[in-house]
Each structure stands twice: as structure tokens, then as C-alpha cells.
Amino acid sequence: MSDNIRPAPYDTHTGYLQQQNRVLRNTYWLLALSLLPTVLGAWLGVATGITQSLRGGLGLIVFFGGAFGFMFAIEKTKNSAAGVPVLLGFTFFMGLMLSRLIGAILGLSNGASLIMTAFAGTAGVFTVMASLSTVIKRDLSGMGKWLLVGALAIMIGGIINVFVGSTAMFATIATLAILIFSAYLLYDLKSIVDGGETNYITATLAVYLDLFNIFQSLLSLLGIFGGERD
């Protein structure tokens, strides 16, 4: 073969960047798609009242059983054609679980505006963290263990408060959840940008859970401090 027609060597750096961009793009598309079954699940729950009986210990069992069951299934199917439908099934389930809170907020005279405010606030947090994830050059992988500890503390505190029923404790947990899951959102997005996460289904699941917890916590706080009754 003539030296003049020798094939160009593969640019590993360009290939790496293309993979990163592909994972990030697919994650954003799937995240947007996941909102549809979430809204559908929330609407169905509010319209039928199917989740109204899920209170106290029963609610915890159904929520954690369903959520962890779906997450296990997502992990098992993330590299197959079934991965996306399983993830969307999970987001539908999460919408159902959110419907009790949505229904309670809609019972307030300004409920619809509170929901829109919470949605706008969550979108704002996402925009800021997505921008920061592309600007920050520092490796944030060390944040993972501390964020996990914070998330577990919030989960344990939330379980305890299901039985205690303290409004002050609930508001404190919700405030901490917004802070911790906003940081988790930055951590997860930075992992995608840096190439630490290469599976877009796993990436979508992580980002979705961050946004779900931010929205739920923000809506709860708005309901406590900004809710108006007739």
C-alpha cells in the first residue's frame, strides 16, 4: 500500500468525546420521555384515589418494595432492549406514589400554582447543575460517599417521621433533601460528562431520582408554608 493512501489512525480522544456526548444526549432524551409516564401515573393516582389507602407502614412497604424491585430490574436489563420499558414502568410507579402529595396540594386553593412553582424550581436547579457540570473541571467523585450518607440519613429520618408525624421534622428533612439531591444531581451529571457513567439507562435513573426528590421536597415545603385554604 502506498504511503499516500495509508488510512488515518483512529483518534481515541475524539472517539471518547463522541461516546460521552452520546451518553449525555441519550440520557437527556430518555429523561424527557420519562416525564410522560410520571405525569400519567400521578394523574391516574389523583383521578382514582388508588394510593389513598397507602399510609403509614403499608405505604412504606409498597413504596420501598416497588421502588427497589424496579431498580433491581433496571440494573438487570440496562444492557438489553427491555431496559427502557422497565425504566418507564418505574417512572409510572413513581408518579403513582407521588399522586397522594399531588392530590393534597390540589386540595389547596392555590394548589395548581404551587405545583407549577415546584416544577419551575426543579427545572431551575437542573439547568444550574447541568451548566456547572460542564464548567467545573475538578473531579467530584469523592463526593459520592458523603452524599450517600446524607441520602441514607434523610431516608431514615423520613421513615421515623412517618410514625412521629412532626411537621417541623418533615420540613427540616425536605429542606435537607433539596440541598443533598441538588448536590447529587451535580455529582451524577458530572459523572456523565466526565465519562464515569457510560450506560444511559443507569444515568437516566440516577438523574431522574435526583429530580424526583427535589420536586417532591420542594412541593412539600411550598404546601406547608405557602398553601392557602378556602
| pLDDT tens profile 15-62 | 556 667 788 889 999 999 999 999 999 999 999 988 887 777 788 888
DSSP annotation of 3 reads G
Q: Tell me, what's the pLDDT at 4?
A: 52
Is residue 6 scored above 90 in pLDDT? no
Q: Which three cell numbers stand for residue 182?
A: 441538588
From residue 17, alpha-carbon distances to 70, 137, 190, 205 in Å are 31, 15, 14, 22
Task: Give a yes or no: residue 10 inside a domain.
Answer: no
Task: Give a yes or no: residue 1 inside a domain.
Answer: no
Is residue 8 scored above 80 in pLDDT? no
Q: Tell me, what's the pLDDT at 13?
A: 52
Q: Tell me, what's the pLDDT at 10?
A: 45
Amino acid in the structure at residue 135: V
Task: Give a yes or no: residue 204 inside a domain.
Answer: yes
Task: Give a yes or no: residue 100 inside a domain.
Answer: yes
Is residue 11 scored above 60 in pLDDT? no
- Domains identified in the chain, total number: 1
User: How far is it, in rounded angstroms, from Cα 50 to Cα 144?
Assistant: 36
Q: Which three cell numbers stand for residue 97?
A: 406514589
Task: Give a yes or no: residue 99 inside a domain.
Answer: yes
Residue among 108, 64, 89, 95 nearest 215 (CA): 95
pTM over 0.85: yes
In three-state secondary structure terms, 52 is: coil
DSSP annotation of 142 reads T
Task: Give a yes or no: residue 27 inside a domain.
Answer: yes
Is residue 5 scored above 70 in pLDDT? no
Instruction: Over range 118-124, report the average pLDDT.
Output: 96
Q: Is the model more confident about 13 or about 177? A: 177
Task: Give a yes or no: residue 12 inside a domain.
Answer: no
Segment 49-99, tens digit of pLDDT = 888 877 777 888 888 899 999 999 999 999 998 999 999 999 999 999 999
Full residue range of the structural domain in which residue 222 is found: 17-226
State the helix-helix crossing angle for 111-135 and 200-226, rounded to 10 degrees. Answer: 140
Q: Tell me, what's the pLDDT at 12?
A: 53
pLDDT category, 209, cuts 50, 70, 90?
very high
Task: Give a yes or no: residue 11 inside a domain.
Answer: no
Q: Is the model more confident about 41 or about 7? A: 41
Segment 153-207, tens digit of pLDDT = 999 999 898 888 888 999 999 999 999 999 999 999 999 888 888 899 999 999 9
